[in-house]
């Protein structure tokens, strides 16, 4: 093959490569400026009904008429910067003129009281919304006219509400034992003040469906769109999220310190969790203890699962009932039915 032939073939190869690259780039450059590909339709998926209309309006305000080639996920997220409950976003460009936006939202998990204002937060600690201060905080058991209240005779918020505070435990309530230690000393009965939990006032302008969420109190400042830095609040959120669904619906609240989380249940027990270590084991122990009490038709008033291998409950189960269970059921429940037998000297209220 002559040198001239080789040169001709090399030039043809280079020309073909340039053509392959230049044509798509040319089409892309033309498309970015062509009116053919302007966004004329926006289809939204995944937004909650309460937010869908506002999200659509924000998208249309920012993106209608924008060239579809120029729309990115970052640009859509910027358009929705005023909606802190947006968790994830993906987009599809449906040429020539339709933008499809798929979003997932944070699920409200609790109300956090900070500085006299009520914040709606997700279980991961993301602050989703805030209600302006409109009145005094209502303590559980005190109902102002027109306020949502518990059924007659109940000294607590409606079923399914929770309150967690970062205050110190009430005087006379012992802390949780160290892991691996004896759980006997941690079963002091809850103070009556442990159920005196704050609730939002009737005129608090909370987002729809959030008034009965769990409540957590913190002194740390919060801001919408940010993640809560208070480790005690985060720990309380973790415990509340781990509770069994059947129990979560009747939770009144909890109080959290740096080392202990105590949950109060409407018509049920106060539950001492200690810290958030071995949380799965603690929930399993709690299920077993409550199951044992239900089996014997006894209302449990206090459960300590801070040491999940040696949970305690009050009042004590009757001695015949304990003896009749034998060691088989104890083994099956992983030792989580220690209520009434781990501390022979315990009183009916659970105090040592």
Q: How far is CA 300 from CA 12, 265, 277, 296, 326, in A?
A: 87, 11, 24, 10, 20
- Asked whether residue 10 carries a pLDDT value surpassing 90, the answer given is no
Higher pLDDT, residue 296 or 149: 296
Whether 162 and 308 share a structural domain: yes
* Residue pLDDT, tens place only, 196-248: 678 888 888 998 888 888 788 889 999 999 999 999 999 999 999 999 888 88
| Domain contains 5 | no
Q: Which structure tokens are listed for 237?
A: 């959120």
Whether 85 and 201 share a structural domain: no
Number of domain units in the chain: 2
Q: What is the pLDDT of residue 103?
A: 96
Q: Which helix (H) or strand (E) segment is 295 a member of?
A: helix 279-295
Whether 80 and 224 share a structural domain: no
Whether 47 and 129 share a structural domain: no
Q: What is the pLDDT of residue 190?
A: 45
Whether 198 and 171 share a structural domain: yes
Whether 200 and 92 share a structural domain: no
| Domain contains 4 | no
SS3 content of the chain, % helix, strand, coil (to 5): 30, 20, 45
Collapsed DSSP state (helix, strand, coil) of residue 102: strand
What pLDDT band is residue 27 in, cutting at 50, 70 and 90?
A: low
Q: Which residue has the tokens 């539950």?
A: 271
What pLDDT band is residue 319 in, cutting at 50, 70 and 90?
A: low
Least confident of 212-226, 292-306, 308-322: 308-322
HEC-encoded secondary structure of 170-194: CCCCCCCCCCCCCCHHHCCCCCHHH
Whether 168 and 76 share a structural domain: no
Collapsed DSSP state (helix, strand, coil) of residue 58: helix
Q: How far is CA 204 from CA 90, 93, 133, 217, in A?
A: 34, 42, 7, 16
Among candidate residues 44, 77, 105, the one where a domain is terminated:
105
Q: What is the pLDDT of residue 266?
A: 80
CB 278 within 8 A of CB 261: no
Whether 83 and 218 share a structural domain: no
| Domain contains 219 | yes
- C-alpha triplet 238, 242, 243: angle, nearest 5°: 125
- Asked whether residue 281 carries a pLDDT value surpassing 50, the answer given is yes
Q: 91: domain range? A: 34-105
| Cα dihedral 215, 216, 220, 226 sign | negative
Q: What is the pLDDT of residue 30?
A: 64
How far apart CA 9 and CA 157 sit, in angstroms, is 85
What is the DSSP secondary structure assignment for residue 70, as one 8-state letter? G
Helix 231-242 / helix 279-295 crossing angle, nearest 10 deg: 50
How far apart CA 194 and CA 171 sit, in angstroms, is 10
Whether 166 and 96 share a structural domain: no
- Looking up residue 88, the CATH number of its domain turns out to be 3.10.20.310
| Domain contains 290 | yes
Q: What is the pLDDT of residue 73?
A: 94
Whether 50 and 126 share a structural domain: no
How far apart CA 286 and CA 5 sit, in angstroms, is 85
Whether 52 and 97 share a structural domain: yes
């Amino acid at each position: 093959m002559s040198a001239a032939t080789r040169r001709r073939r090399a030039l043809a190869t280079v020309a073909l490569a340039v053509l392959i690259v230049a044509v798509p780039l040319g089409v892309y450059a033309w498309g970015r400026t062509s009116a053919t590909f302007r966004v004329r339709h926006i289809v939204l998926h995944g937004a909650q009904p309460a937010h869908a209309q506002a999200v659509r309006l924000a998208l249309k305000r920012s993106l209608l008429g924008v060239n579809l080639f120029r729309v990115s996920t970052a640009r859509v997220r910027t358009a929705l910067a005023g909606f802190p409950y947006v968790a994830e976003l993906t987009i599809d460009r449906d040429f020539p003129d339709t933008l499809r936006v798929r979003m997932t939202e944070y699920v409200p998990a609790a109300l956090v009281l900070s500085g006299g204002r009520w914040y709606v937060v997700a279980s991961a600690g993301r602050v989703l919304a805030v209600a302006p201060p409109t009145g005094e905080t209502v303590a559980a058991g005190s109902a102002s006219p027109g306020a949502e209240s518990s059924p007659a005779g109940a000294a607590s918020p409606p079923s399914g509400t929770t309150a967690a505070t970062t205050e110190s435990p009430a005087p006379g309530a012992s802390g949780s034992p160290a892991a691996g230690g004896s759980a006997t000393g941690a079963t002091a009965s809850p103070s009556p003040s442990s159920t005196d939990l704050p609730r939002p006032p009737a005129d608090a302008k909370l987002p729809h469906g959030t008034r009965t969420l769990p409540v957590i109190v913190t002194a740390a400042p919060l801001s919408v769109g940010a993640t809560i830095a208070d480790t005690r609040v985060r720990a309380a959120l973790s415990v509340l999220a781990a509770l069994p669904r059947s129990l979560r619906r009747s939770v009144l609240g909890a109080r959290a310190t740096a080392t202990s989380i105590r949950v109060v249940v409407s018509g049920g027990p106060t539950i001492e969790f200690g810290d958030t270590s071995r949380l799965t084991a603690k929930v399993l122990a709690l299920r077993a203890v409550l199951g044992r009490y239900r089996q014997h038709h006894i209302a449990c008033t206090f459960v300590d699962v801070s040491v999940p291998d040696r949970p305690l409950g009050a009042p004590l189960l009757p001695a015949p009932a304990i003896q009749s269970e034998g060691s088989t059921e104890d083994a099956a429940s992983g030792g989580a039915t220690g209520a009434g037998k781990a501390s022979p000297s315990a009183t009916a209220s659970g105090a040592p």
